[in-house]
Amino acid sequence: MEINLARTAGFCFGVRRAIKIALKEATKSSSVYMLGDIVHNEHVVRDINQSGIKVVSEMEHIPEGGTILLRAHGSRPDVYSDAGSHGLTIVDATCPMVVEIHDEAKILESQGYKIAIIGDHNHDEVLGIAGQIKSSIVFATPREAREHKGYYKKLGVVVQSTQDIENVRTIVSELITKASELRFINTICKPTKDHQEEIRTMPTENDLMIIVGSFTSANTIRLTEIARGINPRTHQVQSASDIDPAWFEGVERVGVSAGASTPDYIIKEVVERIAEIGERLAVGTSRTVTAT
Ligand code: SF4
């Protein structure tokens, strides 16, 4: 059985960078706090907790003089000012690609565009983008765009970094009818674009797809949906222990991908478990190939 591991499987650049910053900060101070989990993955959350970093729901729970670590998906400007007035040290792990979205939205607004954000309502990244500008409208689905009553002279559109390009394409085609002038900046980040491209080809080249990641990770669930839409023999697992050997009957090629919040060691364990099952089923030779 051949195991094809996606080149883009696992942590994106921004999450890898944020975790590195967090763990480094934890070695310097025992008073490091985060507002919410660093990513939607139980294993990463456990590793972060074990490093001594504490997760709080409100800034008021952080003692004066503590350090607040701002996560990869960005924060509203008032988080920075509140941290300053609470006497906290800020360590900013915002992904540079999210900062670019903030900048694009501010530039569009300064040029007189009404800002539309294509993204998930109440997602921290979307709230962070909206916080950079005076006003904005969020569209999560084509239906929301279609049913929107407003009409704008100038409409500037930016996108949450992890959006599915097909969803974005359909929403933009609806928004065209809502403005005299529409300016669209595709701010889906490069790691997400690469990930989505790969997840649209792998299910056609493999008999079975395994997607590794938490069921609380929107990004992983999206990958699973895309893969399953192309190849119904797609399963999402949180770890190696979720794998059912029965899935692999008659399978010659298995594709493995993982959400942007899934740590490398969990992916490795999943690949090893699949190799073990392949050897047991003895369908040809078992080898792992990393996509190039
Ligand atoms: S998904 Fe993209 S924008 Fe978001 S943290 Fe990862 S690299 Fe940065």
Shared-domain flag, residues 222 and 175: no
For 87, other C-beta atoms within 10 Å of its C-beta total 11
CATH number at residue 60: 3.40.50.11270
Shared-domain flag, residues 52 and 84: yes
Shared-domain flag, residues 175 and 233: no
Q: What is the pLDDT of residue 288?
A: 62
Average pLDDT for 116-127: 94
Q: How many domains does the chain have?
A: 3
Instruction: Determine contact, residues 196/164, Cβ cutoff 8 Å.
Output: yes
Shared-domain flag, residues 66 and 118: no
Residue at which a domain ends, from 63, 95, 127: 95
Average pLDDT for 115-132: 95
Residue at which a domain ends, from 77, 95, 113: 95
How close is the Cα of 227 to the center of ligand 1, in Å? 20
Residue at which a domain ends, from 95, 114, 145: 95
Task: Check pLDDT > 80 for residue 282.
Answer: no
Shared-domain flag, residues 90 and 114: no
What tokens appear for 185 in the block? 């900046």
Per the structure, the complete domain to which residue 69 belongs is given by 13-95
Residue having the nearest C-alpha atom to atom 6 of ligand 1: 14
> CA-CA distance, 72 to 180, in Å (whole number)?
35
How many helices, marked H, and strands, marked E, lie in the chain?
A: 10, 13
Shared-domain flag, residues 225 and 262: yes
Task: Check pLDDT > 90 for residue 206.
Answer: yes
Q: Which residues have C-beta atoms less than 6 Å from ligand 1?
A: 12-15, 72-73, 95, 97-98, 161-162, 189, 191-192, 260
The phi-psi region of residue 160 (left if phi > 0; otherwise alpha if psi is between -120 and 50; otherwise beta) is beta
- 154: phi then psi, degrees, rounded to nearest 5: -130, 120
CATH number at residue 124: 3.40.1010.20
**Which positions are annotated as active-site residues?**
125
Shared-domain flag, residues 32 and 87: yes
Buried b (16+ CB within 10 A) or exposed e, 44-66: bbebbeeeebeeeeebeebeeeb
Percent of all residues in the chain with a pLDDT value above 90, rounded to a whole number: 83
Secondary structure letter of residue 113 according to DSSP:
P
Shared-domain flag, residues 179 and 266: no
Task: Check pLDDT > 70 for residue 290.
Answer: no
Average pLDDT for 153-180: 96
pTM for this predicted structure: 0.86
Shared-domain flag, residues 177 and 208: no
Counting other chains too, the contacts that 83-88 makes at CB distance below 8 Å and 24 or more residues apart are: 83/59, 86/59, 86/60, 86/62, 88/59, 88/62, 88/64
- Top-ranked range on mean pLDDT: pick from 14-18, 42-46, 168-172: 168-172
Shared-domain flag, residues 113 and 34: no
How close is the Cα of 6 to the center of ligand 1, in Å? 18
Task: Check pLDDT > 90 for residue 84.
Answer: yes
What pLDDT digit, counting tens, does each position of 25-41 carry?
999 989 999 988 887 78
Shared-domain flag, residues 182 and 221: no
Residue having the nearest C-alpha atom to atom 5 of ligand 1: 14
Shared-domain flag, residues 89 and 120: no
Task: Tell me which of 25-29, 36-40, 103-107, 141-145 is least confident.
Answer: 36-40
